[in-house]
């Protein structure tokens, strides 16, 4: 059965209905990688046009459990993009200064400039995910944040930022293998923290918190994409395609040239 990437706003999202190993159509890893390369090339051109046009921007929000591949996806997307026209921001535990402001303060400061593609590695969604699961603020506070997030994302879209949200969906078994691989490989151990195991123990709580966030914040102006991510090549292919489709639809244009350039010879 075909599995959608997006569902219509208002539909309740249950992650159990989404297979993290799903593949659309008859495509193998080699073909998938070739297509991802193609998409990266197209993105480089589209990103150049967006930069030249200098009117609109794109924000790619990446969320997912530990090891779901947020960093790997960013590496794959960034290939070919002009570093001057894109930004990557990782959101960690808020600093003292950030905590002293509203939860969107640090987020708003990091949204891409006109002409740019901005990528968020984690985002304002942490404020209804980890914050909710660990009860870092009272329910009366986090429960209001879904509406605040929808309004915030609406503000961004009205200001010319296309908001693309991808949830990298992995299975619990796949996470087990990836965490173990980090432990077993000395070059990957730096990525592992014992705290990752505590988070893993609360897997079900996080999945529930994700389901609520994906459902409540799946709006027409900023829909969620549920990206099957147990296979890295398919995850990269899917996100690159979503971004390429988004930019192709935006169809950024070069600014018009100055009059009278025809026939000028530079001496
Ligand atoms: P990593 O992505 O592995 O570098 O880890 C970043 C950590 O920061 C994760 O454990 C997140 O849950 C945590 N984090 C990000 N945003 C927040 C937030 N608003 N409140 C609390 N923890 C956060
Ligand atoms: Mg980590």
Q: What is the pLDDT of residues 181-215, one digit of tens each?
A: 999 999 999 999 999 999 999 999 999 999 999 99
> Does any domain span residue 143?
yes
Helices 70-78 & 29-53 angle (0-180, nearest 10): 60
> How far apart (Å, rounded) are the C-alpha atoms in residues 226 and 13?
10
Using most ligand atoms within 8 A of CB, pick from 91, 95, 101 the residue to mutate for ligand 1.
Answer: 91
CA 248 to chain centre: 18
> Does any domain span residue 1?
no
pLDDT at 252: 98
**Residue range 135-141: mean pLDDT, rounded:** 98
Q: Is the CB of 223 under 6 A from ligand 1?
A: no
> Does any domain span residue 4?
no
Q: Is the CB of 126 under 6 A from ligand 1?
A: yes
**Residue range 91-103: mean pLDDT, rounded:** 98
> How far apart (Å, rounded) are the C-alpha atoms in residues 25 and 45?
27
pLDDT at 164: 98
Residue nearest ligand 1's atom 2 by CA: 92
> Does any domain span residue 134?
yes
Cα(80) to centroid(ligand 1), Å: 28
**Residue range 110-130: mean pLDDT, rounded:** 98
Residue 30 pLDDT > 90: yes
Residue 1 pLDDT > 90: no
> How far apart (Å, rounded) are the C-alpha atoms in residues 66 and 178?
9
**Residue 56: domain span:** 15-250
Q: Is the CB of 122 under 6 A from ligand 1?
A: yes
Question: pTM for this one?
Answer: 0.97
How many domains are there within the chain?
1
Q: Is the CB of 153 under 6 A from ligand 1?
A: no
Mean residue pLDDT of the chain comes to 97
> Does any domain span residue 226?
yes
CATH number of the domain enclosing 25: 3.40.50.300
Residues of the chain above pLDDT 90, percent: 97
Cα(193) to centroid(ligand 2), Å: 7
> Does any domain span residue 20?
yes
> Does any domain span residue 264?
no
Tell me the per-residue pLDDT of 160-172, one tens digit each, with 9 for 90 and over: 999 999 999 999 9
> Does any domain span residue 257?
no
Tell me the per-residue pLDDT of 249-258, one tens digit each, with 9 for 90 and over: 999 999 999 9
């Amino acid at each position: 059965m075909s599995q959608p990437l997006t569902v219509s706003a208002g539909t309740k999202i249950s992650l159990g209905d989404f297979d993290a190993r799903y593949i659309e159509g008859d495509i193998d890893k080699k073909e998938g990688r070739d297509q991802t390369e193609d998409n990266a090339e197209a993105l480089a051109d589209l990103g150049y046009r967006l930069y030249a046009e200098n009117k609109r921007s794109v924000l790619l929000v990446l969320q997912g459990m530990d090891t779901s591949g947020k960093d790997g996806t960013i590496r794959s997307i960034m290939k070919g993009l002009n570093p001057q026209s894109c930004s990557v921001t990782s959101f960690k535990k808020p600093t003292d200064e950030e905590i002293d402001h509203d939860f969107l303060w640090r987020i708003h400061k990091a949204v891409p400039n006109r002409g740019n593609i901005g990528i968020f590695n984690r985002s304002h969604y942490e404020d209804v995910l980890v914050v909710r699961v660990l009860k870092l603020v009272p329910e009366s506070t986090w429960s209001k944040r879904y509406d605040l997030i929808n309004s915030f994302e609406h503000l961004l879209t009205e200001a010319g930022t296309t908001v693309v949200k991808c949830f990298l969906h992995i299975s619990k078994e796949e996470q087990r293998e990836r965490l173990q691989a980090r432990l077993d490989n000395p070059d990957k151990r730096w990525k592992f923290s014992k705290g990752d195991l505590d988070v893993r123990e609360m897997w079900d709580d996080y999945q529930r918190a994700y389901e609520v966030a994906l459902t409540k914040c799946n709006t027409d102006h900023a829909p969620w994409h549920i990206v099957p991510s147990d296979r890295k090549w398919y995850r990269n292919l899917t996100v690159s395609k979503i971004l390429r489709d988004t930019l192709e639809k935006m169809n950024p244009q070069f600014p018009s040239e100055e009059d009278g350039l025809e026939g000028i010879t530079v001496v």
